[in-house]
Amino acid sequence: MARSSAHPPTDYTRAESGPASIPMTPEPPTDPNGTVGNLVSDAMAHLSTLVRAEIELAKIEVGASVKQAVRGSLFFAAAAAIGLFSLFFFWFMVGEILAIWLPRWAAFTIVFGAMLAMAGLLVFLGIRRVKKIKKPEMTLSEASATAQAVKSAAARG
């Protein structure tokens, strides 16, 4: 059977350097005089290929987005590390500024006390937040109701 000129040959192959994809093969031409069952079968084959291709495309796009997100988060991690290390120098600067008016030992003692006070305040705020965490009451009640239903069903059966 010869191909009609209305349907040019389709080549679904990809170059070796392209992204990973599902293997696609050229499909035989559709017989316009075929039965309804053959046409439905062909439509299902085309639909299946289309769905697999769409899923593969989504995987490729999501994979690329995840890679970009990871690369972007590395910049945030580097910024956080630099910020934490710069705090060390900030507190030295504060101590040196206070040393203009006070003896050096007193200036750095004040800085040390201020840092301890801030750490204590953050611990206090953290403890307050942790104490506000409530137990999952709905989950616990559903679990106990399920356990009760299983016990009563086992007692009956």
Q: How crowded is residue 122: how many other Cβ atoms within 10 Å of its Cβ?
A: 10
With a cut of 60, say whether residue 127 has pLDDT above it.
yes
Query: HSE of 11 in the Cβ direction (CA atoms, 13 Å)?
Result: 3
Q: Where are the domains of the chain?
A: 18-87, 99-148
With a cut of 80, say whether residue 119 has pLDDT above it.
yes
Whether 39 and 64 have beta carbons less than 8 Å apart is answered as: no
With a cut of 80, say whether residue 93 has pLDDT above it.
yes
With a cut of 80, say whether residue 30 has pLDDT above it.
no
The Cα–Cα gap between 98 and 78 comes to 31
Region 116-124: what's the mean pLDDT? 94
Amino acid identity for residue 38 in this structure:
N
- Nearest Cα neighbor of 49 from 21, 7, 9 is 21
Percent above pLDDT 70 for the chain = 78
Percent above pLDDT 90 for the chain = 32
